[in-house]
């Protein structure tokens, strides 16, 4: 008996209007840049349009029908996102602008309140700049110490060195769940309990993980977990910070203004309850509603099915790319990798690769992908990156390979 599956890439592609576009006459789009931002299904687009057409009003403050409908839609989205990642409570989910703001919130609220000069923060060499610069800024202002878990030549973390670094007593271990360059999926089931045993709190950058495989925060047990809507079929300009209630309760507000207060006097205020304590001002209401529609779409397919399909597609890409002489892929094998493949061609700059591929309608990323220290470690100025999602096909991988062969022929 054949197991039923909801994963039908042809049907899925029909839900994304942009995928029918020709980038120039006779050249259809091949979108392989979902690690930067994903495309949006019609259900997400329509959910935001419906808000503006039918219930456009500010939330939480009004008692008229539009305000009540908008508030219900906004908070319903928070509830559904909490269920999507199996968070203990929706009150522990803070709407932010993106993963970057979520990490900055932790640095500037928790970090300023609870870190002292000389305290150590432990990061990794594979971090996106969003999980480097906030801590560099804070370290410079508070005289903190930054240390880094090394990346091996294979593109995985050196966990033996991690154990040594833990003996130095970090206050926080902050790392990516999945590298946006190497594709490496870090073993949080080993890393987070070890940090807890060493007395450190943990923050996980889930920007590349939440869109691509099941996340269960009841099992991961990170103290903070951050991700963005726009990488998981949702709109830009909105993200999530999950934080354990006992930590969020102790942290001071990040921004001041409306909504984040219970009471205000001329010289003092009382902060609001969670999550509103960290959501000052009018929020991104339409974007939150679109975020909710995005997780509904992903849940309708099933994250296990999405993970399985992407694993197969990535394995196919690695096999095809390995047949191209002079092409080098960064990162581990398929067993430790998500749907990201960064590569370089000997003596051909990544920007030239991307430009020629674009002439063939193939959208890839070129540069250091906001992970410049990682590229420096591998002595590379830049790489080309193809990243896959639910709407990509093996035929598009074949077009990528053909495009790369054209690059090689031009530079031969």
Beta bridge partners of 240: 95, 227
Asked if 85 and 216 count as a contact pair (C-beta separation under 8 A), the reply is: yes
Q: Among residues 370, 377, 378, 380, which one is catalytic?
A: 370
Beta bridge partners of 30: 362
**Burial of 44 per CB tally in 10 Å (0-12, 13-18, 19+):** buried
Asked if 287 and 229 count as a contact pair (C-beta separation under 8 A), the reply is: yes
Distance CA(131)–CA(389), nearest Å, equals 23
Strand locations in 107-184 (E): 120-124, 145-149, 172-176
Closest CA to 149 of 176, 116, 130: 176
Strand locations in 93-183 (E): 93-96, 120-124, 145-149, 172-176
Q: Tell me if residue 370 is catalytic.
A: yes
Distance CA(368)–CA(181), nearest Å, equals 8
Distance CA(113)–CA(310), nearest Å, equals 41
Active site amino acids: 370
């Amino acid at each position: 008996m054949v197991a039923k599956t909801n994963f039908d890439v042809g049907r899925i592609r029909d839900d994304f209007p942009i995928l029918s576009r020709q980038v120039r006459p006779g050249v259809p789009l091949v979108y392989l840049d979902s690690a930067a931002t994903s495309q949006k299904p019609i259900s997400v687009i329509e959910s935001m349009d419906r808000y503006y057409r039918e219930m456009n009003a500010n939330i939480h403050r009004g008692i008229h029908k539009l305000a009540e409908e908008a508030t219900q839609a906004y908070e319903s989205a928070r509830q559904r996102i909490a269920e999507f990642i199996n968070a203990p409570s929706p009150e522990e989910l803070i709407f932010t602008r993106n993963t970057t703001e979520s990490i900055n919130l932790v640095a500037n609220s928790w970090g300023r309140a609870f870190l002292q000069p000389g305290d150590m923060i432990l990061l990794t060499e594979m971090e996106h700049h969003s999980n480097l610069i906030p801590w560099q800024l804070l370290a410079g202002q508070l005289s903190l110490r930054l240390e880094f878990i090394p990346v091996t030549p294979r593109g995985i973390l050196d966990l033996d060195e991690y154990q040594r670094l833990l003996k130095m007593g970090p206050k926080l271990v902050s790392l990516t769940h999945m590298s946006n360059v190497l594709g490496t999926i870090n073993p949080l089931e080993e890393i987070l309990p070890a940090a807890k045993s060493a007395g450190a709190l943990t923050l996980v950058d889930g920007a590349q993980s939440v869109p691509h495989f099941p996340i269960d925060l009841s099992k991961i047990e990170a103290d903070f977990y951050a991700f963005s809507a726009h990488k998981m079929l949702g709109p830009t300009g909105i993200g999530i910070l999950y934080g354990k209630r006992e930590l969020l309760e102790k942290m001071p507000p990040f921004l001041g203004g409306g909504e984040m207060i219970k009471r205000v006097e001329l010289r003092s205020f009382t902060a609001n309850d969670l999550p509103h304590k960290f959501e000052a001002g009018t929020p991104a209401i339409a974007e939150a509603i679109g975020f909710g529609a995005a997780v509904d779409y992903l849940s309708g397919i099933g994250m296990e099915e999405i993970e399985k399909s992407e694993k197969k597609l990535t394995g196919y890409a690695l096999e095809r790319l390995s047949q191209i002489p002079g092409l080098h892929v960064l990162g581990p094998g398929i067993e430790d990798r998500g749907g990201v493949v960064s590569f370089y061609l000997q003596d051909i700059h990544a920007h030239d690769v991307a430009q020629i591929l674009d002439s063939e309608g193939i959208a890839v990323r070129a540069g250091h992908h906001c992970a410049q220290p990682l590229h420096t470690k591998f002595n590379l100025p830049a790489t080309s990156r193809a990243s896959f999602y639910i709407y990509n096909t093996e035929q598009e991988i074949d077009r990528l390979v053909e495009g790369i062969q054209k690059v090689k022929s031009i530079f031969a």
